[in-house]
Structure 1
Amino acid sequence: MTPQYEYRYDALKDVSPELKYPMAKEVFPADQSLTKWPWTRDLVSVVLRIIANQAMQDISVRRGSACRLITFIRLYRILENPLYQSGLERVFNAINNLVRGLSNIFGNRAQSQNIKHDVKDEQHPEKVSARISAIAKDIQETAESREAREQTSLADYRDLFQIIYLPDISNHFLEDRAFAAQRVAGANPLVINRISELPDHFQVTDQQFKAVMGDSESLQAALNDGRVYLADYQILEEIDAGTVEVKDREIPKYRYAPLALFAIASGNCPGRLLQPIAIQCHQEAGSPIFTPPSLEADKEERLAWRMAKTVVQIADGNYHELISHLGRTHLWIEPIALGTYRRLGTEHPLGKLLLPHFEGTLFINNAAANSLIAPGGTVDKILFGTLKSSVQLSVKGAKGYPFSFNDSMLPQTFASRGVDDLQKLPDYPYRDDALLIWHAIHDWVEAYLQIYYKDDDAVLKDDILQDWLAELRAEDGGQMTEIGESTPEEPEPKIRTLDYLINATTLIIFTCSAQHASVNFPQASLMTFVPNMPLAGFNEGPTAEKASEADYFSLLPPLSLAEQQLDLGYTLGSVYYTQLGYYKANDVDLDDINDHTYFKDLQVKQALRDFQQRLEEIELIIQDRNETRPTYYDILLPSKIPQSTNI
């Protein structure tokens, strides 16, 4: 037992004193990813790009395109030159000196100097954290200080990207095809459910269905065939709409809880795609229902439909950040990590297996609690709810919404949502790639645990393992009440079978690695271009069949908030540290992994190699899939999945 990892239940007290959630009382240096040079190098590189990007915006406005082009070339050469990989401090200083020389917005910043020295100072890792925090604060303040134009356009949102690459979604986000694809291969491909009947408060007509799918189709037949899918964001009604200060003025944000209906065409063609049928922007029965415009529709009808889609994207972005990302990965993992550190450690075979999957998690969660989700932080500003109600929803997600621990096994969740049938829903890249990773992890975990547990009786008699479970469930421990196995004869939850232990361990490792990757990295590719997925709306949404451009742009965040969303999404979605399947101790860099053996037990060697080979095969399978499948999806390439939730 490692008792120094103590629980703290008031880590979110600055958000609300009523929010009680088990988090680490203290984060030790061994768990602080910022003390590790490769991780810090990548993070600083991202921060530098954001600083340079903002400077380029300033230059483009004040100095003209010629100066902008010359400056871009100079910055690009510095940022892309591999010769600087071994000398980050030179890159850091060179870019900051160049930025200061070209713009007045930064001034003299002592905190940006000598960062490499601080990284190597293992006795004071807080120095690096303080420097990065100071830079992040400067970035946010700079974004807030920008003057918003009276009349914005899509070009203004595109122009926020200078050094940072404009993501491809910016070219397609207005298409219905791209809108539907994000339900199955987007930042949050976790919401659609197959339905057999419409909700009473969302009465789409057969005529509306035929207008999209064709006269040969019928809504009832599609429902009977299992070809109709619903994205229902009713849970977001638990959030209270917030406000934000823009240009010294407090402005209201709008909360949405829409319903969006999708369908698949009949037939057996594997290329059949999800198509949007109808959107209702509110849960109240009788609310206007918006459908895709016909080819003859005028611009005003198309704008109303675009606004309805944007309302769904805003809701999806909030569901993503609060439930799928913060709640169901970061917060969900923390009490499991704490219990493992305390009760198992590296002397126990399960602890030995799990601990590398928690590296950096306590640090990044603590950093988030003190910055991103703190009052006045980025989440408070750019999401649509009050901070208190938003974080309350995240805690609800961590404690079991929409699935309890025992119901969260990936194949089971797909079946529960009715999206497991490849014939009914042929194009679902997240499902197909995630299952490959899940089964590979399951096979690895099974091979590993069978070395140490020969049967169910060996599992049940492992007192250390049972103490671990008891701590995860305890009121003064992890407070995870829906984990463990019970029987009518023996209602006390325990880990009773080897199969359950294998499944539970697979779920933990999958969540730490692949599941977090699936919701984290699309933040850079899909959420930085704000018109695709704003995190707050500033109008009540469409109310009539027609809308104007002014109506549409009034819905989008001001440019200063869009820039903060860009900065957040790019930072969190760009840092890759460690790789699934390659185990190491905390003090070993990934570059040296081949010279280091983490598992000393020789029995593990072949099982681990089989796992690594399987991941290599999956890499090729996904690459081949992307050559032919209609929706490209590379988020779950094994080479792009970190071992732990560390960013």
Structure 2
Amino acid sequence: MSSKSDYKVYVQTGDKKFAGTDANIAVVFHCNDGNSTDEMWLDNIFIDDFERGRRDEFPVSGRQLESVDIIELWRDEKGILDDWFLDVIEVKCESSQSTFVFPFFRWIKPHYRYRIRHLDTSLPHEDDFKDQRTMELEDKCSVYQLRVKIPGMPIQVKQIPDDEQFSFDYKWNIATRKIKMIAQSKIINLVSGTWESLSHLKNVYTSEILKEPASTTRWSNDIFFGLQRTANMNHSVINLCTKIPENLAVTEDTLRPFLEGWTLQQVFDSNRLFIVDYKILEGLPCKNDNYMVCAPLALFFLNGEQHLVPIAIQLKQKPAEDNPVFLPTDPLWTWMMAKMWFNNADASYHQSLTHLGFTHLLMEGVVVVTHRNISQSHPLFKLLAPHYLYLIAINTRGLELLVSEGGWVDKTMNIGIKGMFELIRRGINVWRMDQHGTLPEDLKARGMLNSKVLPCYHFRSDALPLYWAINTYVKKYVNLYYDTPDKITGDWEIQNWASELVKPREEGGCGILGVPGNGKIENQDQLIIILTSIIYTCSVAHAATNFPQYDEYAFPPNYPASLGGKPPTDKTPLEEKDILKALPDKPTTLDVMVVTKILSDKGTKSLGDFEVQYIFDPPARKIVQEFREELKEISKQVKEKNKTRNPPYEWLDPEVVPNSISI
């Protein structure tokens, strides 16, 4: 036997509930040349090792190895709390000063001898420990089970796994934060009653906690109403209009006063007319018979000052005597009321689809399918995992508190959960990954890809560079591990994953439409589109639709999720009192203010700055660093653009965009 040599072993215990252990831990080091150490026990006398979230150092002696290529590790069941979640072990050879890293990121079963390679990054056919890999995936399948909880809705996890629970309450305890925020804000005059005047409503925002939202001073402005289509939460429903729909009761004579001397054909030819059509809302049920939601159409014109302004709003799909087209020349409060009912429909679509359906719920199924099919030793698991942080946990908590019978949605939205769930059912049967989940294709389908079309489209301006940065990052990463298509077609984990992504929901799959390859990935390009779509949706798409919520919703006339009464059926002049009568009462307004404030607060790290670093392979880490550098440059560009934007569009500065759907 060769002489013994000292090693230093650094052990990082995970930061999860009950992650620390009192068990005894043993290791054996193996070298690729066949040599190994004897078993070595990791223990510092009189110190409580392996506590949650702590990094411990253990000096050990063992046979001198040329390199530590594999670590073998196991534990017993000693102690009161023997469960253990291990993040990472680093082994430093004192003789050579070389360090070897072993990412675990798993719960360590008692008496099972785990064998992990240095850097732990391998495609399934390359893994030396296939039995261990298979066992762990089988365990994941038993824990991450799929279930359609509400008929017709996206598939979700059957029961939240312990690993997906929040390890601490922090800001995600929405109920507790809500009570605390109301108390701290000292807003005690919102206990009951309705609003006396709009100025009375504006006077509510006196707290540092519930500040005056930006919309209070500009809500009635047509320019700001146009910006709500291009630079706010519901950013992807506007389309280039190339002809007037047959069911929109306008003529060229109707529109002429608003076209600044242009003929309608000239407006079409110069790409200056745009449309938002909410046909998908037609016939949507509401929470009860006292409420309704419109299914409006609206035309927007890009004027000579490069502002997008509304020029026609029809609140229902079918032209009729009691369904007039409202125009900017109509009586002031009547025009405002038409815009409010349009925004009520817009808010219904925003919360149901743009926000909950197309980010939170669709991606929950993707997260579950990833855990079920892709080993955590797989390089693509390591790529995706940072973008899944807390998603299942926030969905579980949010659905229990906000989107449940009698919850926040039922209290604050006309449609309630009945209408919301029906709208999600309609939407997920239309949403396609290769269009709606692939930003350039979505923009192209809506006639909005060309930057010369609607220059004030801030969402497009800021989202596209981020999409392409993510795409470049993914492309480099995929090409690092898949240099030939046969490596993809032969990767059974990725193929099983793709199959379950497209498998119909009624058969236990995600049922996502438009997944490139339709369940069988044949080349790098298809895989790159899928991975880019997932990372983009979990980060950029969610940030754009989530974080502006307080500024939009907290002043009800600006973006009313709830409106009482009926929409106007003629152009009779209305008054301020009619607006006030339609607005939600004081308690409902407070509920909207508080919850949208909580939802608008960022809680996790910025895109590229991962809470957990899963990637240790040096070439892959270089790719991550290049991604971070590109994000820094994009951040500078966004800040520069915002110097001349009024108001600035801050939501897609990479410093503001989190890695995951964590709130």
Range of TM-score over shorter length:
0.7 to 0.9
Contact 1:233 1:258 (8 Å CA) reproduced: yes
1:482 equivalent in structure 2 = 513
Please state how far the C-alpha of 1:50 moved relative to its aligned partner: 3.3
Q: Hey, what's the Cα distance between the residues in 1 that align with 2:338 and 2:153? A: 36
The answer to whether residue 189 in structure 2 is matched with residue 166 in structure 1 is no
Partner letter of residue 148 of structure 1?
Answer: G
2:315 equivalent in structure 1 = 281
1:435 equivalent in structure 2 = 464
Please state how far the C-alpha of 1:337 moved relative to its aligned partner: 0.2
1:122 equivalent in structure 2 = none
Q: Hey, what's the Cα distance between the residues in 2 that align with 1:255 and 1:41? A: 31
Partner letter of residue 598 of structure 1?
Answer: Y
Contact 1:538 1:554 (8 Å CA) reproduced: yes
Q: Hey, what's the Cα distance between the residues in 2 that align with 1:404 and 1:604? A: 26
The answer to whether residue 624 in structure 2 is matched with residue 608 in structure 1 is yes
**Which of residues 256, 266, 275 in structure 2 aligns to 1:210?**
256
Contact 1:191 1:231 (8 Å CA) reproduced: yes
Q: What's the TM-score, normalizing by structure 2?
A: 0.74
Q: Hey, what's the Cα distance between the residues in 2 that align with 1:631 and 1:567? A: 23
Aligned length: 519
Report the CA distance shift for 1:356/1:46 in structure 2 as closer, same or farther (over 3 A).
farther
1:17-166 maps to which residues of 2 (within 5 A)?
A: 18-19=151-152, 21-33=154-166, 35-36=167-168, 48-53=180-185, 56-58=186-188, 61=189, 146-149=191-194, 151-156=196-201, 158-159=203-204, 162=207, 163-166=209-212
The structure carrying a bigger strand percent of its residues is: 2
The answer to whether residue 149 in structure 2 is matched with residue 11 in structure 1 is yes
Q: Hey, what's the Cα distance between the residues in 2 that align with 1:483 and 1:417? A: 17
The answer to whether residue 296 in structure 2 is matched with residue 262 in structure 1 is no
The answer to whether residue 544 in structure 2 is matched with residue 518 in structure 1 is yes
Q: Hey, what's the Cα distance between the residues in 2 that align with 1:382 and 1:631? A: 27
Contact 2:146 2:509 (8 Å CA) reproduced: no
1:567 equivalent in structure 2 = 594
1:286-301 maps to which residues of 2 (within 5 A)?
A: 286=320, 287-293=323-329, 301=331
Q: Hey, what's the Cα distance between the residues in 2 that align with 1:387 and 1:632? A: 33
1:107 equivalent in structure 2 = none
The answer to whether residue 661 in structure 2 is matched with residue 645 in structure 1 is yes
Q: Hey, what's the Cα distance between the residues in 2 that align with 1:442 and 1:8? A: 29
Q: Hey, what's the Cα distance between the residues in 2 that align with 1:539 and 1:446? A: 53
Q: Hey, what's the Cα distance between the residues in 1 that align with 2:484 and 2:296? A: 49
Please state how far the C-alpha of 1:225 moved relative to its aligned partner: 2.9
Contact 2:275 2:299 (8 Å CA) reproduced: yes
1:458 equivalent in structure 2 = 487
Gap regions ≥5 residues in structure 2? 1-136
**Which of residues 496, 500, 510 in structure 1 aligns to 2:526?**
500
Q: Hey, what's the Cα distance between the residues in 1 that align with 2:199 and 2:286? A: 25
Secondary structure of 1:628's counterpart equals coil
The structure carrying a bigger helix percent of its residues is: 1
Please state how far the C-alpha of 1:552 moved relative to its aligned partner: 1.8
Report the CA distance shift for 1:264/1:402 in structure 2 as closer, same or farther (over 3 A).
farther
Report the CA distance shift for 1:342/1:42 in structure 2 as closer, same or farther (over 3 A).
same
Q: Hey, what's the Cα distance between the residues in 1 that align with 2:659 and 2:475? A: 18
Q: Hey, what's the Cα distance between the residues in 2 that align with 1:583 and 1:575? A: 14
Secondary structure of 1:230's counterpart equals strand
Q: For each residue in 1:524-551, what CA deviation from the matched residue of structure 2 results, as whole angstroms up to 9, or x when unmatched?
A: 2221121110102212122332212222
Secondary structure of 2:142's counterpart equals coil
Partner letter of residue 457 of structure 1?
Answer: D
Contact 1:200 1:285 (8 Å CA) reproduced: no
2:564 equivalent in structure 1 = 538
Q: For each residue in 1:319-360, what CA deviation from the matched residue of structure 2 results, as whole angstroms up to 9, or x when unmatched?
A: 100010000000110111001111113211111111121110
1:64 equivalent in structure 2 = none
Q: Hey, what's the Cα distance between the residues in 2 that align with 1:264 and 1:19? A: 39
Q: For each residue in 1:121-159, what CA deviation from the matched residue of structure 2 results, as whole angstroms up to 9, or x when unmatched?
A: xxxxxxxxxxxxxxxxxxxxxx6xx22147443422541
Please state how far the C-alpha of 1:28 moved relative to its aligned partner: 2.8
Please state how far the C-alpha of 1:40 moved relative to its aligned partner: 5.8
Partner letter of residue 657 of structure 2?
Answer: I
Please state how far the C-alpha of 1:578 moved relative to its aligned partner: 2.1
Report the CA distance shift for 1:238/1:386 in structure 2 as closer, same or farther (over 3 A).
farther
Contact 1:187 1:522 (8 Å CA) reproduced: yes
Instruction: Tell me which moved more, 400-409 or 444-453.
Output: 400-409
1:198 equivalent in structure 2 = 244
Please state how far the C-alpha of 1:371 moved relative to its aligned partner: 2.0
2:609 equivalent in structure 1 = 582
Report the CA distance shift for 1:238/1:404 in structure 2 as closer, same or farther (over 3 A).
farther
Contact 2:340 2:559 (8 Å CA) reproduced: yes
Q: Hey, what's the Cα distance between the residues in 1 that align with 2:227 and 2:236? A: 12
Q: Hey, what's the Cα distance between the residues in 2 that align with 1:351 and 1:381? A: 39
Q: Hey, what's the Cα distance between the residues in 2 that align with 1:403 and 1:481? A: 7
Secondary structure of 1:260's counterpart equals strand
Partner letter of residue 480 of structure 1?
Answer: G
Report the CA distance shift for 1:529/1:161 in structure 2 as closer, same or farther (over 3 A).
farther
Please state how far the C-alpha of 1:367 moved relative to its aligned partner: 1.4
**Which of residues 216, 227, 230 in structure 2 aligns to 1:184?**
230
Instruction: Tell me which moved more, 502-511 or 379-388.
Output: 379-388
Please state how far the C-alpha of 1:620 moved relative to its aligned partner: 0.5
Q: For each residue in 1:20-63, what CA deviation from the matched residue of structure 2 results, as whole angstroms up to 9, or x when unmatched?
A: 54211222333223x2476569997776333322xx222xx5xx
Tell me: higher relative CO, structure 1 or 2? Use CA pairs within 8 A at least 6 residues apart. Answer: 1
Report the CA distance shift for 1:347/1:396 in structure 2 as closer, same or farther (over 3 A).
farther
Q: Hey, what's the Cα distance between the residues in 1 that align with 2:195 and 2:175? A: 35
Please state how far the C-alpha of 1:615 moved relative to its aligned partner: 0.6
Secondary structure of 1:277's counterpart equals strand
Please state how far the C-alpha of 1:10 moved relative to its aligned partner: 4.7
The answer to whether residue 373 in structure 2 is matched with residue 343 in structure 1 is yes
2:637 equivalent in structure 1 = 621
Please state how far the C-alpha of 1:315 moved relative to its aligned partner: 0.9
Partner letter of residue 265 of structure 1?
Answer: N
Secondary structure of 1:189's counterpart equals coil
Gap regions ≥5 residues in structure 1? 13-17, 62-142, 244-250, 487-491, 586-596
Partner letter of residue 364 of structure 2?
Answer: E
Q: Hey, what's the Cα distance between the residues in 2 that align with 1:473 and 1:438? A: 23
Q: What's the TM-score, normalizing by structure 1?
A: 0.76
Q: Hey, what's the Cα distance between the residues in 2 that align with 1:157 and 1:560? A: 15
Secondary structure of 2:295's counterpart equals coil
Partner letter of residue 356 of structure 1?
Answer: P
RMSD over aligned Cα atoms? 2.3
Q: For each residue in 1:187-244, what CA deviation from the matched residue of structure 2 results, as whole angstroms up to 9, or x when unmatched?
A: 2111111121111111323233232232x2122321233221001111111421323x
Q: Hey, what's the Cα distance between the residues in 2 that align with 1:190 and 1:493? A: 27
2:474 equivalent in structure 1 = 445
Partner letter of residue 477 of structure 1?
Answer: G
Q: Hey, what's the Cα distance between the residues in 1 that align with 2:407 and 2:225? A: 29
Contact 1:254 1:536 (8 Å CA) reproduced: no
2:355 equivalent in structure 1 = 325
